Structure 1
Amino acid sequence: MSQCGIEQLIEDLIEREGDYVNHPADRGGPTRWGITEAVARRRGFTGSMRHLPRSDAAAIYRALYWTAPSFDKVAKILPKLAAELFDTGVNMGTEIAAGFLQRALNALNRNGGDYPDIKIDRRIGPETLHALHAFLAKRGTAGEDVLRKAVEALQGAHYVRLAETRPSQEAFLYGWLANRIG
């Protein structure tokens, strides 16, 4: 995926997330462009969340949700999968997204016959990238859709579990499933 590709992913995400929101059931508190106040503060923003510049949000997405978790490295191998990991990482946390990928790779390696299981450390490093290459070598380009579907299935199950265990989160379940799965 080109640099232009991540810029489009960020723009699409910002459009989907919308402007300022402070929903009482949202555990993230006040957000603008999908960036929580806590994340904005850690990145040095001190103003009212109502005034977080769109360009600051884009820079945060690029640094924290694309480059830092190594989704940019996944994009060089499987761009659609990287886009899914980016979106999942923004919504659930990049470590959860990376863990979903690692779990899916382990479940799809045919009991270690295609490549060895990898440690579920929720970080994309050389071992995960090697497994990704090995998966692609065995399954071909069609494997990208299957792997992406496996990650989305884990994501969907996580959303349902959240709604079941935290009833206040039911307010978001329909939107999560409508906008983040498939």
Structure 2
Amino acid sequence: MANFDKAYAITMAHEGGYANHPSDTGGETYKGIARNHNPNWKGWHVVDAAKRNASGTDQLNRILSANADLQANVRTFYKANYWDVNRLDQVSDQLLAEKLFDIGVNMGVGRAARMWQEAVNLTNQNGRAYADIAVDGIVGAMTLKRTNEHPRPALLLQVVRALQGERYLNIMRNAPSQEVFAASWFSRI
């Protein structure tokens, strides 16, 4: 079954440290945790205190990275809210679990689950391999069964990646100000 720590390491390489980009709809972020979407995250008081003592973003990131309690808090936050929610520990394909975790962090766990379910349906040879599953954003027994018994797991992963790219393109088409994130987003595919 899939390993959270491997997925977490990959996603954290994308998320980096502290950022406050004016075009980011999530607003201020630390390791990808957006203040606008997670205003009650208990790590914000540590970030705020460090901001008062840092002379710039590089120093701020060094201070925050050295705080073992904060780093453990970040890991716990991601495990509970992005890994466990979509039951990724029950996915047999590590690469697929890593991809779904990263999409969940970047686009939301419900969207990641729906992309996953859509990919399962799109790769069932028009229902000849198995019946379609519900695309409801809730990972249940059937989503896991169809995934873990999938006859072509590499194809399933490719379709999930294609859906991820399609989402990024649609965001940029509908909100051109978001094009500033294109290089970062597409590095995740």
State the alpha-carbon separation in 1 of the partners of residues 6 and 88 from structure 2.
Answer: 15
Q: Tell me by how many angstroms 1:48 deviates.
A: 5.6
State the alpha-carbon separation in 1 of the partners of residues 39 and 118 from structure 2.
Answer: 32
Question: How many correspondences in the alignment?
Answer: 170
Identify the match of residue 147 of structure 2 among 98, 108, 132: 132
My pick for the range that moved more, 54-63 or 18-27, is 54-63
Q: Tell me by how many angstroms 1:24 deviates.
A: 0.2
Higher radius of gyration, 1 or 2: 2
Match of 1:150 in 2: 159
- Does the 8 Å CA contact 2:26/2:37 hold for their aligned counterparts? no
State the alpha-carbon separation in 2 of the partners of residues 133 and 115 from structure 1.
Answer: 13
Q: Tell me by how many angstroms 1:46 deviates.
A: 4.9
- Does the 8 Å CA contact 2:7/2:97 hold for their aligned counterparts? no
Moved over 4 A (4+): none
State the alpha-carbon separation in 2 of the partners of residues 129 and 12 from structure 1.
Answer: 22
Q: Tell me by how many angstroms 1:59 deviates.
A: 1.0
**Counterpart secondary structure, 2:39:** helix
State the alpha-carbon separation in 2 of the partners of residues 166 and 144 from structure 1.
Answer: 33
- Does the 8 Å CA contact 1:30/1:49 hold for their aligned counterparts? no
State the alpha-carbon separation in 1 of the partners of residues 6 and 99 from structure 2.
Answer: 13
1:84 pairs with 2:84: no
- Cα deviation 1:1-27 (Å, max 9, x = unaligned): 46xx32232233223311110000000
Letter in 2 for 1:36: A
Match of 1:22 in 2: 20
Q: 1:151 to 1:49 in 2, by over 3 A?
A: same
- Cα deviation 1:132-177 (Å, max 9, x = unaligned): 244x2xx2xxx22111110000000100110010011100012211
- Does the 8 Å CA contact 2:14/2:188 hold for their aligned counterparts? no
Larger relative CO (CA 8 A, sep 6+): 1 or 2? Answer: 2
**Counterpart secondary structure, 2:8:** helix
Letter in 1 for 2:156: L
CA RMSD of aligned residues (A): 1.9
State the alpha-carbon separation in 2 of the partners of residues 23 and 55 from structure 1.
Answer: 25
What TM-score do you get using the length of structure 2 for normalisation? 0.82
What TM-score do you get using the length of structure 1 for normalisation? 0.85
Letter in 1 for 2:95: K
Identify the match of residue 9 of structure 2 among 5, 8, 11: 11
- Structure 1: gaps spanning 5 or more residues: none
- Does the 8 Å CA contact 1:78/1:144 hold for their aligned counterparts? yes
- Does the 8 Å CA contact 2:19/2:28 hold for their aligned counterparts? yes
Q: Tell me by how many angstroms 1:79 deviates.
A: 1.5
- Does the 8 Å CA contact 1:15/1:33 hold for their aligned counterparts? no
**Counterpart secondary structure, 1:68:** coil
